[in-house]
Each structure stands twice: as C-alpha cells, then as structure tokens.
Structure 1
C-alpha cells in the first residue's frame, strides 16, 4: 500500500469517528429532535404553506399593478410570519440551531488550526 493510500485511509477513519461523535453530541441530538418535531407539526407546515401562497399572490398583484391588494396580502403574510416566528417550537429550533452552528464553527476552527500547524511543521522539516 502506498504512503498516500495509508494517509487517506487514516483521514477517512478519523472523519468517520468525528462524524459519529458529532451525531452523539447532546447539542446535535437536541437540534435533530426539535427539527423532527417541527417537520411533524401540521400547524407549522400549514402556516409555511399559507405564507408562501400569500407571497405568490402578492407577486401576482404586483404584476397586474394592483398595489392595494398587494399591500394587503403582504400585510397578511407578515402577520402570519410573525405568528410563526413566535411559535415556541420555532423559537426552540432557532436556539438549538445557533448552538449547533457554534459547535460546528468551533470544531471547524479547531481542525483548521491543527491542519495549519501540521502543514507548517512539514514545511519547516523540508527546509
């Protein structure tokens, strides 16, 4: 086996371990759990569909130069969007999303730092 193949195998194994660890991290589990709740919540799905429909209607009214109708439909869409945004599951989802993003950002920064250090060592050894 070539040196590169051994190196690639080690990288893939390490990546698999990392991904498995991430899946089992409490922050990621919490995110996936709330994401599933939202996906299964019929009321939230209906709100999203209604908001989309209202936005489509607003585009049509704008196209046919009906500013008053467009304004009213946009007001309804904004009102529904505000209700959606204040829903407890949506608030919890956004909080979990921020935590998961922070975790992934921290992990990415850590990996980047370690890779850069390793590359610097390799370059210094070759000099």
Structure 2
C-alpha cells in the first residue's frame, strides 16, 4: 500500500485548523481578557502613554548626542516600566503571554519531533540514535562503500 503524499496546500490547511484550535484554548481566552483589562485601565493607559513619550525623547536625545539628557530619560523609562510591571493586571497579561507562547512552542516541537521520527522510522532507521535508515546501512561494519 502506497503512502499518501500531501501537498503544501493541504498541510497549510491543517495548520490553519490547528491555529483555530489554539485560538479556542483557555490560555488564549485568558490572554484576551487580560489584554482587554489593560486597555480598559486608565492608569495603565496613562503610564504606557508616558512611556512612549519618553521613548521618543530618548531616541531624539540619542540622535542629538545629548548623553546627560538621555541618561535621565532612560532612568525615567526604567521607573515607569517598573511601575507598570507591578500592576497585577499587567502581571496577569504577561503570564498569559508566556502561556500562549509555551503552547505555540509545544505545538512547534511536537511537529518537528514527529516529522523527524517519521523520517527515521520510514527509512528503517534507529530512533534511539536518531539516524535514518540510509545512515545506519552505510555505517554498519562490513558494508561496502
């Protein structure tokens, strides 16, 4: 029985199905809620606006070579970033980002591992050594090279 060969389009279609599944997870739902809470939080919005303004100033000072002013602005940026990071809703948002990224990494690793193992197995290779069948056959003692 011949193995079915898939087209790129079929694989992309399956990837989109997986993406839709990921978008329907608890991790993504929590991420969306945390992001909405941040966007609704006036204090956070004001801090972020201040941060962006200071970042623009820092770029200008750097461009103009104003080292003292740049250091002062960078210190203010650091202080505001610390304030923002201490806000519980921001901590929840960052945690949710980590969890979504972990899920994406898990899926990526599962795909890579499965593809590698399928190649090794389908060529009669050795999963323990990670060698494909052609490598195993060509590295056996007494094989003709």
| TM-based fold match above 0.5 | yes
Tell me by how many angstroms 1:70 deviates. 3.7
Aligned-CA RMSD value: 2.8
Tell me by how many angstroms 1:82 deviates. 1.2
Higher helix share: 1
Cα distance change of structure 1 residues 83 and 119 upon mapping to structure 2, 3 Å threshold: same
Moved more, 70-79 or 98-107: 70-79
In the other structure, the counterpart of 2:113 is 113
Task: Kindly provide the CA deviation profile for residues 56-115 of structure 1, in whole angstroms up to 9, marking residues without a partner as x.
Answer: 334444526462x44433332222221111111110011111111111111111111111
Cα distance change of structure 1 residues 35 and 121 upon mapping to structure 2, 3 Å threshold: same
Task: Kindly provide the CA deviation profile for residues 29-74 of structure 1, in whole angstroms up to 9, marking residues without a partner as x.
Answer: 111221233234343232222112223334444526462x444333
Aligned length: 122
Query: How many Å separate the matches in 1 of 2:10 and 2:73?
Result: 57
In the other structure, the counterpart of 2:22 is 22
- Unaligned residue ranges in structure 1 (runs of 5+): none
The structure with higher relative contact order (CA 8 Å, sep 6+) is: 1
Cα distance change of structure 1 residues 117 and 58 upon mapping to structure 2, 3 Å threshold: closer
Alignment of 1:1-127 (within 5 A): 7-8=6-7, 10-61=10-61, 63=64, 65=66, 67=68, 69-124=69-124
- Unaligned residue ranges in structure 2 (runs of 5+): 126-132, 135-145
Cα distance change of structure 1 residues 45 and 118 upon mapping to structure 2, 3 Å threshold: same
Query: How many Å separate the matches in 2 of 1:31 and 1:37?
Result: 10
Query: How many Å separate the matches in 2 of 1:59 and 1:17?
Result: 42
Q: Which has the larger radius of gyration?
A: 2
